[in-house]
């Protein structure tokens, strides 16, 4: 397996409430993943989250603090001047060393170092792009920059992901990256307008990975990390809402799903009803189980209280009648369909699609599956890059 190193400091780890760990989890089935941390609290948090996963390892690195003398400072100043002697501030004749080398040069020196980072062996380094508004302390800055420097020297691929607002990033760091991962189109445009070639920018379309590198908390999005039911990338997850009267329409839906021939994980969401002395479970078993077996072996009967979680991990939601959870599904970019072959065609409402023809529903199911297979996550970004 190829090896990925993910360095992470406390500021960035807690900015995502620890969700960054899920990037490592998503990579772990095809990569060896090593998390490098420099704070005990981050090490403990990551260990609790991923320590049980076989090919994910968490490492705690401790900085060593050097004794800086005036002679050492002067030597560093001389080295700095030699390297930047001919560099001037843009639009002026003022040389950079004239300001930086003599204006509080101590402020440009850090006395911490990481001897454990003397050599780095990996295929990829995956790290956040630093922000000038959320800038790390000296130990974190040295930690990240040491890893970037060592990786560049060793020919290791550097992959930076946009964690903080793109407008406050240090432009030097993105230019050092082999690939930059962004969450939104405006971030991609910003980098292109600032001289980063479009071939080095990857736009994430995987909702779960995008949320894992987002600093904005959303309690419903946290349902994406549901561990009770694992949905695979290569299967279409369809949630069907039960109905107490429109049972023939639901049987049509199951027949269409079976006809698609796709690998499907199927949820049937209960609506809490009974017909005379028959419970909803009994009705489902007698009417639908044979149809469902033709669709998939991956079938889950879901209580109505879990409808929010189920919708969040589904790719599409199908109902025979208009119910408000469909509006919720659309809000989170799920395909929401009302299928009833006995009703007249209607225009879409709030992004919810009305359908009365089986071929239309079959076409949408196949289109949704094709779109899912084309999703770009962090794993796809790394797999698309050549080895060092």
Residues 90 and 135 in one domain: no
The pLDDT value given to residue 152: 92
Q: Are 238 and 266 in contact (CB under 8 A)?
A: yes
- To which residue do tokens 């033709």 refer? 294
Residues 78 and 54 in one domain: no
Residues 192 and 333 in one domain: no
- Does residue 229 form part of some domain? no
Question: Can you give the pLDDT of all 388 residues of the chain as single tens digits?
Answer: 899 999 999 999 999 999 999 999 999 999 999 999 999 999 999 999 999 998 999 999 988 887 778 787 788 888 888 888 888 888 888 888 777 756 556 666 777 888 888 888 999 999 999 988 877 788 888 999 999 999 999 999 999 999 999 998 888 899 999 999 999 999 999 999 999 999 999 999 999 999 999 999 999 999 999 888 989 989 999 999 999 889 899 999 999 999 999 999 999 999 888 777 788 888 888 889 999 999 999 999 999 999 999 999 999 999 999 999 999 999 999 999 999 999 888 888 999 999 999 999 999 999 999 999 999 999 999 999 876 5
- Does residue 226 form part of some domain? no
Name the domain boundary from 217, 251, 275.
217
Name the domain boundary from 82, 104, 126.
104
- Does residue 27 form part of some domain? yes
- Give the count of domains, the chain: 3
Count of CA atoms in the C-beta half-sphere (13 A) of 154? 19
- Does residue 197 form part of some domain? yes
- Does residue 388 form part of some domain? no
Residues 84 and 154 in one domain: no
Residues 146 and 240 in one domain: no
Which CATH number is 175's domain given? 3.40.50.2000
Residues 174 and 241 in one domain: no
What is the 3 state secondary structure string of the chain?
Answer: CEEEEEECCHHHHHHCCCCCHHHHHHHCCCEEEEEEECCHHHHHHHHHHHCCCCCEEEEECCCEECCCCHHHHHHHHHHHHHHHCCCECCCCCCEHHHHHCCCCHHHHCCCEECHHHCCCCCCEEEEECCECCCCCCHHHHHHHHHHHHHHHHHCCEEEEECCCCHHHECCHHHHHCCEEEECCHHHHHHHHHCCCCHHHEEECCCHHHHHHCCCCCCCCHHHHHCCCCCCCCCCEEEEEECCCCCHHHHHHHHHHHHHHCCCEEEEEECCCCEECCEEHHHHHHHHHHHHHHHHCCEEEEECHHHHHHHHHHCCEEEECCCCCHHHHHHHCCCEEEEECCCCCCCCCECCEEEECCHHHHHHHHHHHHHHHHCCCCHHHHHHCCCCC
The pLDDT value given to residue 105: 61
Token pair of 107 as six digits = 């402020």
Work out whether strand 316-319 and strand 298-302 pair parallel, antiparallel, or are unpaired: unpaired
- Does residue 50 form part of some domain? yes
The pLDDT value given to residue 114: 87
Residues 35 and 130 in one domain: yes
What is the reported pTM? 0.87
- Does residue 383 form part of some domain? no
The pLDDT value given to residue 249: 95
Domain extent at residue 22 = 2-65+111-217
The pLDDT value given to residue 78: 85
- Does residue 349 form part of some domain? yes
Residues 59 and 99 in one domain: no
The pLDDT value given to residue 71: 83
Residues 160 and 18 in one domain: yes
Residues 300 and 274 in one domain: yes
Residues 312 and 213 in one domain: no
Residues 253 and 342 in one domain: yes
Backbone angles phi, psi at 143, to 5 degrees: -60, -55
The pLDDT value given to residue 369: 98
Separation of first and last alpha carbons in the chain: 13
């Amino acid at each position: 397996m190829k090896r990925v190193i993910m360095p992470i400091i406390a500021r960035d780890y807690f900015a995502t409430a620890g969700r960054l760990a899920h990037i490592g989890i998503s990579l772990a089935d095809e990569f060896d993943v090593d998390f490098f941390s420099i704070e005990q609290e981050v090490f403990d948090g990551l260990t609790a989250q991923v320590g049980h996963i076989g090919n994910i390892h968490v490492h705690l690195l401790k900085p060593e603090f050097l004794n800086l003398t005036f002679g050492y400072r002067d030597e560093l100043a001389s080295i700095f001047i030699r390297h930047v002697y001919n560099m001037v501030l843009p639009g002026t004749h003022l040389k950079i060393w004239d300001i930086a080398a003599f204006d509080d040069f101590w402020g440009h020196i850090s006395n911490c170092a990481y001897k454990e980072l003397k050599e780095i062996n990996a295929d990829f380094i995956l790290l956040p792009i630093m922000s000038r508004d959320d800038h790390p302390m000296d130990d974190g800055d040295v930690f990240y920059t040491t890893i970037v420097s060592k990786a560049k020297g060793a020919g290791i691929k550097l992959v930076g992901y946009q964690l903080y607002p793109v407008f406050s990033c240090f432009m030097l760091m993105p230019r050092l990256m082999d690939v930059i991962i962004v969450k939104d189109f405006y971030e991609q445009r910003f980098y292109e307008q600032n001289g980063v070639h479009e071939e080095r920018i990857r736009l994430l379309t995987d909702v779960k990975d995008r949320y894992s590198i987002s600093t904005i908390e959303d309690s419903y999005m946290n349902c994406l990390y549901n561990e009770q039911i694992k949905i695979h990338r290569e299967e279409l997850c369809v949630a069907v809402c039960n109905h107490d009267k429109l049972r023939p329409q639901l049987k049509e839906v199951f027949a269409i799903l079976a006809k698609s021939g796709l690998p499907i994980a199927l949820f049937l969401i209960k609506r809490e009803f009974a017909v005379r002395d028959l419970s909803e479970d009994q009705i489902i078993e007698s009417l639908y189980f044979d149809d469902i077996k033709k669709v998939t072996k991956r079938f889950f009967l879901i209580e109505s209280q879990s409808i929010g979680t189920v919708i969040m991990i589904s790719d599409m939601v199908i109902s025979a009648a208009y119910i408000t959870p469909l509006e919720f599904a659309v809000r989170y970019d799920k395909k929401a369909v009302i299928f009833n072959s006995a009703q007249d065609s209607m225009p879409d409402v709030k992004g919810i699609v009305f359908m009365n023809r089986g071929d239309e529903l079959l076409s949408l199911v196949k289109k949704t599956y094709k779109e899912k297979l084309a999703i770009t996550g962090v794993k796809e970004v790394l797999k698309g890059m050549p080895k060092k």
